[in-house]
Structure formats: structure tokens, C-alpha cells
Amino acid sequence: MDPTLFIQLAGGLVYLLAGGDLLVRGAVALARRFHVSPIAIALTVVAFGTSLPELVVVVQASLAGYPGLVFGNVVGSNIANVLLVLGTAAVIYPVMHGEHSVRRDCLVMVVATLLLVALSATGTLDVLEGVILLCGLVAVNVLTAKEAAKAYRDASLKAPMEWVLGLPRNPRTIALFIVVGAIGLPLGANLVVDAAVQIAAHLGVSDTVVGLTVLAVGTSLPELATTVVAAVQRRTDVAIGTVVGSNIFNILAILGVGAVISSAPIEVPSGFNTLDFPVMLGVAIVLSAFVWLGRPIGRTAGVLFLAGYGAYVVALLLRAGGAAY
């Protein structure tokens, strides 16, 4: 296999992650200069920022007609967010939730996962089903906005955003961040999708397997970076909220957009019904159980999470040559 394909894939991921990071920082800084309230920023740019890589990859894959990458990236990212991201953070320092709303969000995550599984039962995800997912996103955002507005405290929202993002202040720097980010995201998506398809062809596996593994982990790097930094600084109360919010957005927004813009219904890989959907639902329920019981995800659980992710990847590789994918 041509090693330049892996270089292209790595380069594309760098463009994706750096572009998304710069665009979010620039957009938040711009909103601050125009005195947009921190709550509005938190509910829009910051909330969706870590899922930008998944979004642009899915949009590109939908337009190019690669359904395996569409579903693989989203489902694989949701699994990696819980088992790999939270597992890694928990090994460093026990992860716990500090917001009451996380309980509700965990329930929303489980319901959204069940909705996706139900809509996918026909074997495709069409425009109407994409609209249903997007309507679910609107409903969730309205509910969150009402709750956040009721409990609005400027100081409590400003500090976490400054800590996570580190915002530019100079207007020229802000403009540079936004422009470079806006260019880097689509460029990275093109490189990643093209390289992933070619790598899958050379390895003799489907693009679905590549989407579930390489792309899923690559596009989950923003969540991984955020939670690892949180764990090192012992501020893991933000970790679960970041992962849960990202997983909800991945299902409702990213797959919703992918289905709406696709020229034809997106085919659901048949193997998802026997392995990937059950695993995604299972890890969502396990995470929700920790939250609802009020128990931190300790180091032992973190090791089990990582072992579970390893077992999932092994199962994927064992089935890679089968007809299920």
C-alpha cells in the first residue's frame, strides 16, 4: 500500500482538528466582542465545536455517496467517546458529573440512540427521517436554552469557556482564526474521506470499518483532548457533559444533516444491527447508569472501559472480511 495515503489521512485529520479548533475560538471571541451573552455562546458555538470534525466528514461523505463512512463515523465516534475518551480520563482521575442537567441529557442520549436504531430499522435513512432527527435537535436545544436561561450566571459560564478555549483578543487574530478554520475544515474533510476510501480498498475492507475505527477515533480527538486536560487538572465535572452533548449532537444533527443533503437514502450497513448499534446503545446505558446512581467513573471502571473498546475493535477486525459489512 502507498504510505502516502496514511500521510494524507493524518494531514486531513490535522486540518480538520486544527480548523475546527481555530474556527470555534475565533467565533467565540467575535461573539464576545459584540457582547453576545456567554449563555448564547455556550449553547451554540462551544456546544457544537467538538463535533465539527464529524459534521464536515459526514457532509463530505454524504455528498460523495459513501454511506459506510457516514454511519461509521457517527456510531464509531459515539462508542469511542464513552469507552475510549471517558475511559482514558477515568484512568487519570475519577470522572464525576457536577450538573443536575447531565441526568436529563443522559436520558436524551439514550432516547436519541433508540430513535436512530428505530429509524434505521428499514435499512436506510432518508430525508424525512433526517428531518425527524433535526426536529429532535431543535426540541433538545429549546429545552436546554430554557433551563440555562433560568439558571443564568455570567461568571459561572465565562470561566469554563476561557479555560477550555483560550480566546484571541486582537481583531486581526480573531479574523485569521475564523478564515483559517473555515478553509481548513472542508479541505481536511476532502483529504480524510478520499484517503479513507482508498485505504479501505487497499486493505480489502469496507469503508464502514475504516469509519468505525480510524475516522471515529480521529474525529473524537477534540473530546479526548478536552477530557484528558480536565482529568489532569482534576476538573472532570465537565468531561461527562462534553461527551454526552457530543453524542447527542452526533446523532440528531450530524446524521440528520447527512440524511437531508444526501442525494439518495443513506444505506445502513447490515452489520450494525448485530454489533455496532447494540454496543452504542449499551455504552450509553452504562454511562447513564453511573450518572443516575451518582457514582464516579473510577480507575477500575476506566480500565474496563478501555478494555471494552479494545474488544470492540477486535470484533470489528474479525468481522471485517465478512458479508455483514
Q: What residue type is assigned to position 171 of the chain? A: P
Going from the C-alpha of 270 to that of each of 76, 116, 119, 120, 144, the distances in angstroms are: 15, 14, 14, 10, 34
Of the CA atoms within 13 Å of residue 134, those in its CB half-sphere come to 14
| Of 18, 78, 249, nearest in space to 258 by CA | 249
As a whole number, mean pLDDT of residues 226-246 equals: 75
Predicted confidence (pLDDT) at residue 91 exceeds the cutoff of 90: yes
As a whole number, mean pLDDT of residues 13-39 equals: 71
Q: Could you read off the pLDDT of 240-265 as tens digits, one per residue?
A: 877 888 899 899 999 999 999 988 89
Predicted confidence (pLDDT) at residue 164 exceeds the cutoff of 50: no
Predicted confidence (pLDDT) at residue 34 exceeds the cutoff of 80: no
- Would you kindly state where each structural domain of the chain is located, as residue ranges? 4-319
| Of 94, 107, 40, nearest in space to 227 by CA | 94
Please give the pLDDT value at position 147. 66
Contacts of 109 (CB under 8 A, 6+ apart): 244, 247, 248, 284, 287, 288
What does the mean pLDDT of the chain come to? Answer: 80
Strongest mean pLDDT among 17-26, 105-114, 192-201: 105-114
Share of the chain above pLDDT 70, in %: 81
As a whole number, mean pLDDT of residues 69-78 equals: 90
As a whole number, mean pLDDT of residues 42-52 equals: 58
Alpha helices in the chain (DSSP H): 4-33, 38-41, 47-49, 52-64, 67-80, 87-92, 101-119, 127-150, 154-165, 171-203, 207-210, 216-219, 221-232, 237-249, 256-261, 276-293, 299-319
As a whole number, mean pLDDT of residues 81-100 equals: 86
233's grid cell: 487538572
As a whole number, mean pLDDT of residues 288-310 equals: 93
- The H or E element containing residue 251 is none
Lowest-pLDDT range, 117-131, 223-237, 305-319? 223-237
Please give the pLDDT value at position 155. 43
Number of CB atoms found within 10 A of residue 309's CB: 21
Predicted confidence (pLDDT) at residue 45 exceeds the cutoff of 80: no
* 4-319 CATH: 1.20.1420.30
- Band (17; pLDDT cuts 50, 70, 90): confident
Strongest mean pLDDT among 20-29, 61-70, 103-112, 164-173: 103-112
**Where is pLDDT greater, at 95 or 185?**
95
